[in-house]
Amino acid sequence: MFNKNFFYISIIFFSFSFLRAEVSVDVHVKNLSKGTESEKMAACNFLGKEKSEKKYISEIQETLKLSDNSKVAIACANALGYIQEKGSSTTALKNKIMSESNTDVVYACLVSILNIAIKNGYEPDAKSAVQYADINHRNDEFVADLIDRIKIKFKE
């Protein structure tokens, strides 16, 4: 037997699930500087992984530079790695490695440098970042392993 109430409730439920608003690119960009930590991480994920928005690289780099939250810094590093734009992104990642004590952040920056280098070549700032990490962050086994792999990949 057909249950009208169940049918109407199902239609309403599915209608509301489609009405969920997507956050615009402009809101994500604004969240990089003024959002909560979770909004900043979501913005980095959206702009880096889902959109690969190269025109917002400077905003992501600025958030990376100013962030003292490791989760936000890792999200910024990952976004730059997904976008894979050489030059200023590599420099921003190198600068974060040189100013960071959290090895999770250092590892994320190194992975992103590797992603950029695979696409665009091994830049001098990438080499400097790896050398600095080798001297100052080798005590972390994961960072040490990644440094060794980068050196093998680029025959350093």
Which structural domains are found in the chain, ordered by start?
Answer: 23-153 (1.25.10.10)
Predicted confidence (pLDDT) per residue in 87-120, tens digit: 999 999 999 999 999 999 999 999 999 999 999 9
Three-state SS across the chain?
Answer: CCCHHHHHHHHHHHHHHHCCCCCCHHHHHHHHHHCCHHHHHHHHHHHHHHCCCHHHHHHHHHHHHHCCCHHHHHHHHHHHHHHCCCCHHHHHHHHHHHHCCCHHHHHHHHHHHHHHHHHHCCCHHHHHHHHHHHHHCCCCHHHHHHHHHHHHHCCC
> Which residues of the chain register pLDDT less than 70?
1-22
- Quick one: pLDDT at residue 29? 84
pTM of structure: 0.83
- Quick one: pLDDT at residue 22? 63
